């Protein structure tokens, strides 16, 4: 039983590393491309597996801090390269402008709806309907 143990350990390591290489993303493998790492691990089970674990395995990606551009508390904003505002005064000014624009759009929409209703009422009155309501 003991003489099969090293072979079993190498087989388990080889399968683990092969699955790890295959499931890693294309650009994350270090030093070589993903396809090259697959061939290395396939052709050299022990050495290739150890090389993958030491040299090729992707490093853990840590989340960005707010200073690096992440806006915590909203997961969709934690993507790399996402801009996070740093000036609260500019944020407030921007939000004020957005609210003003939304209010203008709401008023324009209500005016349009009112004008359409009045046009329909006039048309009904012209057609001779006694009670437009």
Give the predicted TM-score (pTM) of the model.
0.46
Give pLDDT tens digits for 1-47.
688 888 899 999 999 999 999 988 877 888 888 899 999 999 998 99
Query: How many CB atoms lie under 10 A from the CB of residue 8?
Result: 10
Question: Strands (DSSP E) along 1-114, which ranges?
Answer: none
pLDDT of res. 130: 58
Give pLDDT tens digits for 39-92.
999 999 899 999 988 988 887 766 666 666 655 555 555 566 666 666 778 888
Q: What is the spatial distance between Cα 78 and Cα 69, in angstroms, rounded to a whole number?
A: 8
Residue 7 Rama label (left phi>0; alpha psi -120 to 50; beta)? alpha
Q: What is the spatial distance between Cα 74 and Cα 65, in angstroms, rounded to a whole number?
A: 13
pLDDT of res. 120: 92
Residues 6+ apart with CB under 8 A from 61: none
């Amino acid at each position: 039983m003991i003489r099969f143990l090293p072979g079993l350990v190498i087989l388990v390591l080889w399968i683990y590393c092969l699955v790890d290489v295959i499931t890693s993303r294309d650009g994350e493998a270090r030093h070589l491309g993903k396809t090259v790492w697959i061939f290395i691990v396939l052709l050299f089970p022990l050495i290739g597996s150890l090389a993958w674990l030491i040299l090729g395995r992707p490093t853990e990606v840590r989340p960005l801090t707010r200073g690096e551009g992440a806006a915590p508390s909203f997961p969709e904003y934690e993507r790399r390269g996402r801009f996070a505002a740093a000036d609260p005064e500019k944020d407030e000014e921007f939000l004020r402008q957005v609210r003003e624009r939304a209010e203008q759009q709401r008023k324009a929409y209500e005016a349009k709806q009112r004008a359409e209703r009045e046009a329909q009422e006039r048309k009904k009155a012209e057609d001779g309907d006694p009670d437009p309501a």
